[in-house]
Chain A
Amino acid sequence: MRLIHNYMWQAVKNWYPAILTFAVLIVVWELCVWFLEIQRWLLPPPTIIFQELIDSIGLLTRHAGITVVEIIMGFAVSLMIGVALASGIVWSRAMERSVYPIIIASQTIPIFTLAPLLIIWVGTDIMSKVIVVVLFTFFPLVVSLVTGLRSVDSESVDMFRTLGATNAQIFRKLMIPTALPNFFAGMKVAAVVSVIGAVIGEWVGASGGLGWLMKLSGPQFQTARVFAAIVVLSVVAITLFAVIVAIEKWSLRKYPSTLNQAKNLGE
């Protein structure tokens, strides 16, 4: 209990500058809308957006559910493709020279322009959105994993070999643990862009999801609903990010942290 209390107090201490800044911005926004008499369809004040959030919570959560499923499926597929590609690139020189440049070049294509093609090829069901999420997320995953797996130093590999390790053992017990911190850095980037990917996919062609709801609400001048959808999307992205940070903290709990090193210097 005391531990939880301490943890929350720590969180408040860490976050209060951000929360305070955010609160000031919201108040300024609210006051601007009222005193400058801005039309509500043009820019609704935060109170109206909050009211819309409460009034349409059923609608918003239903569409958020669709978006979240797309994100999770896309993320899972991306993870599988990313791990396979990165392992291949690190293992095989041929694959590194043939595939890696194409992967990097592929990122110069604006994915937004591919989305309409995907609608033509696979239709407007969930598959097209999953593919857009994959296109957005596999790149940070592959790059971070390749970097991480490559950061293994040759002396450690030699040490494993002199202990009689097989290639599979070296991969599992040395390369993967070495790559983990980089991998999680890539995961965090992927988490954020996965939300963008799902919304873009829905924007181009869908029958549900927060992106679709925003696209529908805009032309009807339901501006407050567009903002409410953005708020929900942010909550989704932050939650996803927080989940990955939690997994990261657990996975890397034995790794030397900067805190540990500082403690040692003091000894």
Chain B
Amino acid sequence: MSSCSQKLVLDNGVTSLDDGALLTVSGVGFDYQSIPVLDNVDLSVNRGEFVALVGPSGCGKSTLLNLISGLLPPSTGSISANGIVDSPGRLGNVSYMQQRDLLLPWRTISENCQLGLELRNISADTSKALVQELAKSFGLSDVLEYMPSQLSGGMRQRAALMRTVLPDNHVLLLDEPFGALDAITRNVLQKWLLSVLTRTDKAVLLVTHDVEEAILLADRVVIMASDPGRIVAEVDVRLVGSNIESSFTSPAFVELRKNILALLERRGVSS
């Protein structure tokens, strides 16, 4: 059966800044109108690693992604993504998929996916060819000429992810990509995402409030608490040799889920 290595690193014990880290967040704080939203956040994601960030609503998970993407500058501390420390400089160099698909209703799916390449002035022929190639693994080949309004929520979400990953940046941020989907579609897409990203050399950071999703998809789960948002624990959740179908019921999965929920709850009560 599956074995699992489990390691809890509490509070400020996160110090892994090894050479493999594509994304490094160190001592980052963020104040909004002099109210602290994030406090002293340390986080690193290595090449080829998938990290999930879980925490209660309003703990600043999305704010952290906005800081990493370069949309906002941190109030304190520093962020380095693929070696870029300057906040505006990270715009366009960190792939960021927001919660809503944000597909432009007047563009076909293909044109929507080409957007990132188009903004880099890559020729339409080249970007269209790239979209057609990638569409195969995204299951979107047949709907590339459709308008977004003709697609289901799950398909739209895939298209949004394809638009996000096409510029081929090394750091990929996902903000609850399946949050608005029904349970069945969500499950299908989780499996699919795992198969798409499993052989990637990107550093992936996923924000979710779904603990099962975090365990299923990630190599490591980072737990946040709120007021102000901070990292309180890290759990290694690599389920070695397991397949997805049996994961949900495997003893290791259940154990991990229990531990993470306990960590989230403990923080919730104490704060």
Interface assignment of B147: CB less than 8 Å from any CB of chain A: yes
Verify A163–B107 contact, CB threshold 8 A: no
- B32 contacts the other chain (Cβ, under 8 Å)? no
> Given A254-B147, A260-B149, A260-B150, are A163 and B92 neighbors across the interface (CB < 8 Å)?
yes
Near B by CB (< 8 A), chain A positions 119-171 give 155-156, 158-166, 169
Residue B7 at the A interface, CB < 8 A? no
Closest to B101 in A: A159
A174 close to chain B: CB less than 8 A: yes
B91 within 8 A of A: yes
A256 contacts the other chain (Cβ, under 8 Å)?
Answer: yes
Question: A155 to B102, alpha carbons, bound, how many Å?
Answer: 8
A164 engages B98 (CB within 8 Å) = no
- Is B167 a contact partner of A163 (Cβ separation < 8 A)? yes
Q: Is the CB of A174 within 8 A of B104?
A: yes
Interface stretch of the complex, out of B35-43, B113-121, B186-194, B202-210: B113-121
Whether the pair B116, A164 counts as a contact (CB closer than 8 A) is: yes
Answer whether residue A264 sits at the interface, using C-beta atoms and an 8 A cutoff: yes
Main secondary structure of the interface of B (DSSP, over half): loop
Q: Is B93's beta carbon under 8 Å from chain A? A: yes
- Please indicate the chain A residues that have their CB under 8 angstroms from the CB of B119 in the complex: 160, 163-166, 169, 173
Chain A, residue nearest B102 (CB)? A159
- B70 A156 Cβ-Cβ under 8 A: no
Query: B103-143: which have CB < 8 Å to A?
Result: 104-108, 115-116, 118-120
Given contacts A156-B102, A162-B70, contact A254 B149 (CB under 8 A): no
Contacts of B96 in A (CB 8 A): 159, 162
In B21-71, the 8 Å CB interface with A consists of 66, 69-71
Cβ–Cβ contact B98 & A254, under 8 A: no
Closest to B163 in A: A163
CB of B94 within 8 Å of the partner chain: yes
Given contacts A159-B102, A164-B91, contact A256 B69 (CB under 8 A): no
Cα-based distance from A256 to B149 in the complex (angstroms): 6
Query: Is A177 at the interface (CB under 8 A from chain B)?
Result: yes
Contact A261 B91 (CB under 8 A): no
How many contacting A-B pairs (Cβ < 8 A)?
A: 63
Residues of A within 8 A of B147 (CB): 254, 256, 260
B258 contacts chain A at the CB level, 8 A cutoff: no
Main secondary structure of the interface of A (DSSP, over half): helix
A255 engages B71 (CB within 8 Å): no
A163 proximity list for chain B (CB < 8 A): 92, 115-116, 119, 163, 167
In the complex the two chains form, is A254's CB within 8 Å of B106's CB? yes
CB-CB under 8 A for A256 and B105, given A162-B91, A164-B93, A164-B120: yes
In the bound complex, residues from chain B placing their C-beta under 8 Å from that of A166 are 119
Known: A162-B69, A169-B119. A177 touches B92 (CB 8 A): no
Is the CB–CB distance between A164 and B104 below 8 Å? no
Q: Which residues of B contact A177 (CB under 8 A)?
A: 104, 106
B100 within 8 A of A: yes
Closest B residue, CB atoms, query A251: B106
Task: Assess A264 versus B115: contact at CB under 8 Å? Given A156-B102, A162-B94, A254-B106.
Answer: no
Within 8 A of A (CB), among B67-95: 69-71, 91-95
Decide: A255 and B92 in contact? CB cutoff 8 A. Answer: no
Chain B residues, CB < 8 A from A260? 147, 149-150
- Whether A155 and B150, one on each chain, are in contact in the complex, defined by CB atoms closer than 8 angstroms, is no
Within 8 A of B (CB), among A163-204: 163-166, 169, 173-174, 177
Task: Beyond the given A162-B69, A164-B92, A174-B104, please list 17 additional residue pairs across the A-B interface where CB-CB is below 8 A.
Answer: A155-B98, A158-B98, A159-B96, A160-B119, A161-B91, A162-B92, A162-B95, A163-B92, A163-B115, A164-B167, A169-B119, A254-B106, A254-B108, A254-B147, A255-B105, A256-B147, A256-B149
Pairs across A and B, CB under 8 Å, 26 listed: A155-B98, A155-B102, A158-B98, A159-B96, A161-B91, A162-B71, A162-B91, A162-B92, A163-B115, A163-B119, A164-B91, A164-B93, A165-B119, A173-B119, A174-B104, A177-B104, A177-B106, A252-B106, A254-B106, A254-B108, A255-B105, A255-B106, A256-B148, A256-B149, A260-B147, A264-B150
The 4 A-B residue pairs with the shortest CB-CB distance in the complex, in nearest-first order: A164-B92, A256-B149, A163-B116, A162-B96
